Structure 1
Amino acid sequence: MAQSFAHGNRSHVRGQAGNRGGRTARDRARRTLSQNFLIDPHAVRRVVEAAGPHELVLEPGAGEGVLTRALAGTCRKVIAYEIDPLLAERLSTRTRGGGGIEVVKGDFLGAGAPRERFAVVGNIPYSITSGIVGWCLGASWLTSATLVTQLEYARKRTGDFGRWSLLTVRTWPEHSWELLGRIGRESFRPVPGVDSAILGIVRRPVPLLPGERMARYREFVEYGFAGLGGSLRASLRMRYPARRVDAAFEAAWLRPGTVVGFVHPEQWLTLFERLHR
């Protein structure tokens, strides 16, 4: 009888060890779970160095444990989550008695966040990148997240294309985003169709805005990105006096016709402060 293992909005069904269409059951599992294992020792070292040492680390998608064991060399405790039951059992056996590693067989997205300072480090499945990033942003005790993601995703979130995403701008007062390095597709097995990157998200020790103003800031950013007026300046002029909007744009060193995606998060903060004095 087949067993199903929940994986976000996908499922991993482990059936008999047949070979359909030239693929083994393990091949099908890797495809379903977006399993692309990081095998390059140099790339593993770069991820660990980018993450830095921590007392407690949670690792989503531990896989075969290459990164897990490397993290254990710099961090006091690593809790490795692996949804694939076969891989989880293998990793548990390999690390048993090693000290500092706890293997959890289950979905990281269903895990409760620790109520102590912790970091997240992982070579995460591409298919649930948004879910894992959202989990990290919502964890109040998280200090940082160092994630191997698709290169395009990391570039989009860190302004590397010269544009800034709504998610980055909304969260900027509480989190910084940084592209910490690129990893070629040849560093993985199976080899994915795209290159990857190391994305760093750091929770600011002191937010750039006090808590009572964060909700107003987020609403302000969402309104600006909606583009109701056809441009950011025109949209803001629909809500605020034109002279105040023009003065705010001047203070933020923004041209009147600047497209919303090209407004740096720090410029958004200037606009918000000037228009909400």
Structure 2
Amino acid sequence: MGERLLGAADVRELAGGLGLRPTKTLGQNFVIDANTVRRIVRDAEVAPEDVVLEVGPGLGSLTLALLPAASRVVAVEVDPALAQRLPATVAERAPDLADRLEVVPADALRIAELPGPPPTALVANLPYNVAVPVVLHLLGTFPSIRHGLVMVQAEVADRLTAGPGGKVYGVPSVKMAWYAHARRAGNVGRAVFWPAPNVDSGLVAFTRREPPSTSASRKEVFAAIDAAFAQRRKTLRAALAGWAGSAAAAEEALRAADVDPATRGEALDVEAFTRIAEHRPSSPTIG
């Protein structure tokens, strides 16, 4: 089973055959380095029984490396031309593995279900402009995803893996912590992409965790998180005033949650936000 991975010349040839000019709108930066995709598959700890969800497979660089490692790869691609070409590329370069691939032509931000067995891993080179919403949407939509690794803009990787108190700790950090333990799994240089992006990339590895035990729903907890970070420099008493109905009601909820009202959102972990959400007034008067 010798799959032939894509190099720089192969990627350019495939793109040329499709008349494709990579677009910034879709965040298309194709990986042209075989060692990078091998590293991603290895660091993602893809197991033979895994059903891997890949978002934005593009021309198939990472797909070809995933197929021998997993039982099945479900590739979600928003660009119709790329989605149509991918099965042919796999058939040409890894014919023995072609039956493991399922291509879904769709926007990953809008999918609610996938064909076949549920995905157990998420491995993707994500378009920079939608990386955070895509990861959070997929973890929320598919609880079967137990682990994964995504390649994102380095700054986004820092945000997704930040802990309380850090400069870049914010909404993505807390929401990611609701779903999973996330960590930085290394950096990726610009030269492995075509076209080369003007920013560095980072790898984020994650393992699913049970969400904090709480009587509040995920939607309620996320509403508290969004409100707390909407005005970063404000104390939670002020930042949550609209969320609670008034500053006084916010203070009451915070004290009930054992949180100092003078604290700022960036000091709190996800468990603290679940306690705050539990104490939101039942019918706050927004105004």
Q: TM over 0.5: same fold?
A: yes
**SS at 2:204 equivalent:** strand
Give the deviation of 1:43 after TM superposition.
Answer: 2.1
Could you say which residue in structure 1 is the equivalent of 2:20?
Answer: 26
Could you say which residue in structure 2 is the equivalent of 1:238?
Answer: 248
Could you say which residue in structure 1 is the equivalent of 2:66?
Answer: 71
Cα deviation digits, residues 36-61 of structure 1 (max 9, x gap): 11122332222112221242012111
Could you say which residue in structure 1 is the equivalent of 2:8?
Answer: none
Cα deviation digits, residues 10-43 of structure 1 (max 9, x gap): xxxxxxx9xxxxxx9522x444432211122332
**Structure 1 residue aligned with 2:118, among 116, 132, 144?**
116
Cα deviation digits, residues 77-133 of structure 1 (max 9, x gap): 112233444444443123223225324262242444346342221112223324422
The residue correspondences of 1:79-118 to structure 2 (distance < 5 A) are: 79-96=74-91, 97-99=95-97, 100-104=99-103, 106-109=105-108, 110-114=110-114, 116-118=118-120
| Worse overlay, 218-227 or 90-99 | 218-227
Distance 1:229 1:189, change over 3 A: closer
Asked whether 1:151 is paired with 2:144, we answer: no
The residue correspondences of 1:222-261 to structure 2 (distance < 5 A) are: 222-226=226-230, 230-232=234-236, 238-239=248-249, 245=255, 248-249=258-259, 258-261=263-266
> Which residue identity lines up with residue 218 of structure 1 in the other structure?
F
> Which residue identity lines up with residue 37 of structure 1 in the other structure?
F
Unaligned runs of 5+ in 2: 1-15, 241-246, 281-287
Q: Structure 1-normalised TM-score?
A: 0.71
Distance 1:158 1:171, change over 3 A: closer
Could you say which residue in structure 2 is the equivalent of 1:8?
Answer: none
> Which residue identity lines up with residue 195 of structure 1 in the other structure?
D
Could you say which residue in structure 1 is the equivalent of 2:221?
Answer: 217
Judge conservation of contact 1:163–1:262 (CA < 8 Å) in 2.
no
Cα deviation digits, residues 225-272 of structure 1 (max 9, x gap): 35599312566773366797399348xxxxx85432243435545x64
Distance 1:102 1:246, change over 3 A: closer
Judge conservation of contact 2:254–2:276 (CA < 8 Å) in 1.
no
Q: Structure 2-normalised TM-score?
A: 0.69
Give the deviation of 1:186 after TM superposition.
Answer: 1.3
Could you say which residue in structure 1 is the equivalent of 2:54?
Answer: 59
* Structure-2 separation of matches of 1:79 and 1:40: 22
* Structure-2 separation of matches of 1:217 and 1:177: 19
**Structure 2 residue aligned with 1:48, among 34, 41, 48?**
41
RMSD of aligned C-alpha atoms?
A: 3.6
**SS at 2:258 equivalent:** helix
| Worse overlay, 36-45 or 228-237 | 228-237
Cα deviation digits, residues 166-202 of structure 1 (max 9, x gap): 2432453333332222111111111010011112343
Distance 1:108 1:246, change over 3 A: closer
Could you say which residue in structure 1 is the equivalent of 2:244?
Answer: none
Distance 1:87 1:208, change over 3 A: same
* Structure-2 separation of matches of 1:61 and 1:174: 22
* Structure-2 separation of matches of 1:103 and 1:151: 29
* Structure-1 separation of matches of 2:31 and 2:41: 12
Unaligned runs of 5+ in 1: 1-16, 18-23, 251-255
* Structure-2 separation of matches of 1:263 and 1:49: 33
